[in-house]
Amino acid sequence: MRRLLSENETTCAVNLLNDDVRVLIYVGDADTVCNWAGNKAWVDALDWKCKDAFNTAEENSFAAQDLLNPTAALTDAGLVRAFDNLALVGISNAGHMVPTHQPAVSLDLINSALAPNGSFVCGVSNNTAGYIKLANKEDDHYFYWFYQSRSNPETDPLVLWLTGWPGSSSMFALLSENKPCSIRPDLSTTFNAYAWNSNANVIWLEQPTGVGFSFGAPADKDYNETNVGENIYWYLQGFLQTYPQYQGREFFVTGERYGGYYVPAAAHYIWSMNKASQLDDKNPIINLQGMAIGNGLTNPVIQASIN
């Protein structure tokens, strides 16, 4: 039976979206039967839990790979707007039958949609960014970006990442190293199967004071690794108050380069405060299980002599 109104389909889509089922809507930009503008209007009108966030999300261009010719240059494929479990894609130079007009693009598109973690939004793990005010400082605010584990966020360990050299932002690692998603040459994103949050809840932290988006009063300036360790400890106490479900979770400190100083300083301060907390019970014990240093500057006298 033909129907001109699609209230039932709208209700179905909303129910599925609200229950975290992934939904992909793709349309050829030259389709005159079910045109792009009409599909876009329908998607924007869906009254689901993330409607406002989706409708205000940035629309980005994206590139597609010809999977039958992987050495070929990426194809400028169209536009994508995505938030959480909904993606709306406009395919360039395609009409009513996208797989016929743009077979390479449509194959890359559907492979992305069928992946365990849809690639347009770097997977489906929850993430949040913000500030924690340090209780030990006058007006010090540390910026962080936190990604939950893709596997078992309720039980997987908590990992802190610290990018080294003083003044170097941990956002570099988040966007280019152990990242949840990869950034393509056209600035679109694709799912990174090797992300560190595959089996861990990971915090990328901007520190010390003044690095990246972290800021504080002049009196909050840091001078040595003792300051670093103390600040990270109090940042974690604030984090665990904000996210109490991670209290008691196995915890690891990791970092690279100048992290050879940062990581041991942070781990040792946490360890020493845990010992003190066992006596006075003022602050929750951080369940420190280990630390990891990559390509670290740990002792330049010894390291330089080997070079």
pLDDT per residue over 130-178, tens digit each?
Answer: 999 999 999 999 999 999 998 888 999 999 999 877 778 888 888 888 8
pLDDT of residue 3: 44
pLDDT of residue 123: 54
Domains and CATH numbers, the chain: 7-121 (3.40.50.12670), 127-306 (3.40.50.1820)
For the chain, residues with pLDDT lower than 50 are 1-6, 119
pLDDT of residue 1: 40
CB 229 within 8 A of CB 222: no
pLDDT of residue 101: 81
pLDDT of residue 200: 93
pLDDT of residue 7: 54
